[in-house]
Chains A and B, each alone.
Chain A
Amino acid sequence: AQSVTQLGSHVSVSEGALVLLRCNYSSSVPPYLFWYVQYPNQGLQLLLKYTSAATLVKGINGFEAEFKKSETSFHLTKPSAHMSDAAEYFCAVSETDSWGKFQFGAGTQVVVTP
């Protein structure tokens, strides 16, 4: 069975500082990993996805994530936070033969301070 843990339900970063959001997963087979962003009163939007092609994945809005099999992690980073990055971020894991079902983490709310 797969599960996802996001460390930190709330993260506060200063504008221009590094954004680091942590995600650890458990999966019995090679996983597919995703990061989504949700702005207030909106649905989820895909930031990036890992599908075994490359361990460092670049996404939209300057975000990237690195798959580390030995650490079962898929942490999301952005070198320099912008005020528009304030949102909730979700990590998700899926597996082949799962009918495309995802297991989502609990989410991390990011606040960006001037």
Chain B
Amino acid sequence: DVKVTQSSRYLVKRTGEKVFLECVQDMDHENMFWYRQDPGLGLRLIYFSYDVKMKEKGDIPEGYSVSREKKERFSLILESASTNQTSMYLCASSSLLGSGVDEQYFGPGTRLTVT
């Protein structure tokens, strides 16, 4: 059974703290993604990675950074958390097909509250 796991389901942090969200997949997927989900806005892509040490900005990268040192692990970093980063964060992975587009597999999400 394929699996994407996220380090925390719920997280509460204070404004200005550095926050790490970890994501691990066991499917040997090349692609990994970080989204934030807010009511009425759907999922918005923060960053994605198509290979180890490779990263690309998504639609809303400001205030975030990422790290991918190993193929199975993709970390999202909030350098200095702010209240407007309170959200649900979802990690996903997919394989890199020779042609076509593979489905994305999602983790359970981390609900982050910044106070």
Contact = CB atoms under 8 A, between A and B. Distances in A.
Interface of A: 6, 9, 32, 34, 36, 41-46, 49, 51, 90, 94-96, 98-102, 104-107
B100 A90 contact: no
Interface of B: 4, 9, 31, 33, 35, 40-45, 48, 50, 56, 58, 90, 92, 94, 96-97, 99-109, 111
A11 B80 CA distance: 38
Main secondary structure of the interface of A (DSSP, over half): loop
Interface centre among A6, A9, A94, A95 (most CB of B within 10 A): A94
Contacts of B109: 41-43
A32 B101 contact: yes
B56 A34 contact: no
Contacts of B92: 44
B36 to A, nearest CB: 11
Contacts of B56: 99
A44 B102 contact: no
Nearest to A43: B106
Contact of B101 (A36, A46, A96): A96
A101 B106 contact: no
Contacts of A94: 101
Contacts of B90: 43-44
13 contacts: A32-B101, A41-B111, A43-B90, A44-B92, A44-B106, A46-B103, A99-B31, A99-B50, A100-B50, A100-B104, A101-B58, A104-B35, A107-B42
A51 B101 CA distance: 8
Nearest to B51: A99
Nearest to A46: B103
A95 B101 contact: yes
